[in-house]
Amino acid sequence: VKGSGEKGRIHRADVEGYVSAGVKAKEAASTVRATPLAQKVAAANGLELGQVEGSGERGKIVRSDVERALQPAKAQAGEKRVIKLQGMRKIIAQRMSQSAYTAPHVTITTTVDMTSAKAMRTELLPIVEKQTGLRLSYTEILLKAISACLVKHPNLNARWENEEVVLQDHTNIGLAVSVKDGLLVPVIFEAERMGLAELVRKSKEVAGKARDNKLKPEDLSGGTFTVSNLGMYAVDSFTPIINQPEVAILGVGQIQDKPAVIGGQVLVRPMMTL
């Protein structure tokens, strides 16, 4: 029953109208001449016989008439579901296609032993949580490591502008965040100046704003490098597309226990592919 009241609230009149419509439909159906088999097939498929044109004697509805009437519905049910490309998805598709076709993508892959990182997180987790009320994740540890790396290797911390590679003074790291129907990349500015606690606050803040659709245009521009972490989705490795006008991007996979050769011995270590 569809309510006619405020916020769809159902009133007595709505119920009475619904019942009345049902009675009329049954009365209409009872006046339709149809074979018992036709009635059975129609009832099984939720088809009102009043919608069916009969081909039998004096317009009587037979089984073949019901099956013919059901064909469009079945064909429609089997049709492909189409999602129109619009809004955020359309912009992402255009930008990613442009980047893929205009910037040469060279993918370099390496596997990292995360034993020390896991130990550091375990040690610092209660300290950071006490300071911020938030939990330290591997994302913030990665952000700290990446910002230090970019300071040492400024050619990666750059933007392609006006046919020139422009080196940047600060590491403004974009953090890819999955949102409904798309992906947003809010920027953590001057990440090299932040400690882990501050990075935890900032990364959680921008990710929350992205999911709540509260980001401003300035929160999404000015990045010098982007990180895309799919480890939480049990992805081992992937090839992200450069977020232009930046010149590089890092794809992060899941941490997974794997055999590794350490000092001539095969040991199980938490490994992550970058």
Return phi, psi of residue 166, to 5°. -105, 110
pLDDT for 173 equals: 97
User: How confident is the model at residue 126, as a pLDDT?
Assistant: 96
**3-state per-residue secondary structure call for 252-266:** ECCEEEEEEEECCEE
Counting beta carbons within 10 angstroms of the beta carbon of residue 164, is it exposed (0 to 12), middle (13 to 18) or buried (19 or more)?
exposed
Residue 86 scores a pLDDT above 70: yes
Domain residue limits, the chain = 107-273
Query: Cα 247 to chain center, whole Å?
Result: 24
> Does residue 142 register a pLDDT over 60?
yes
Of 58-72, 105-119, 128-142, the range with the lowest mean pLDDT is: 58-72
Query: Which two structure tokens, joined as six digits, stand for 255?
Result: 């941490």
**Are the C-beta atoms of 104 and 160 separated by less than 8 Å?**
no
Who has greater pLDDT, 87 or 168? 168
Distance of alpha carbon 62 from alpha carbon 39, whole angstroms: 8
How far is the C-alpha of 8 from the C-alpha of 55, rounded, in Å? 43
CATH class given for the domain over 107-273: alpha beta
The pLDDT of residue 146 is above 70: yes
> Residues with Cβ < 8 Å from 100, sequence gap 6 or more?
241
pLDDT digits (tens, 9 = 90+) for 209-251: 999 989 999 999 999 999 999 998 999 999 999 999 999 999 9
pLDDT at 76 over 70: no
Residue 68, both tokens: 């013919």
Strand partners, 272: 112, 255
CA distance linking residue 98 with residue 87, whole number of Å: 17
pLDDT band at 153 (very low <50, low <70, confident <90, very high): very high
pLDDT at 54: 84
E-strand stretches of 8-157: 111-113
For residue 37, give both structure tokens.
């088999």
Could you say which DSSP state residue 6 is in? G
**Mean pLDDT of all residues in 76-86:** 69
Q: Averaged over 64-79, what is the pLDDT? A: 69
**Model confidence at 27: pLDDT above 80:** no
Q: Is the pLDDT of residue 38 over 60?
A: yes
What is the mean predicted confidence (pLDDT) over 103-124?
95
Q: Which residue has the tokens 């998805």?
A: 89
Q: Is the pLDDT of residue 30 over 80?
A: no
Nearest to 224 by CA among 123, 162, 151: 151
Model confidence band, residue 43 (pLDDT cutoffs 50, 70, 90) = confident
d(CA 223, CA 243): 9
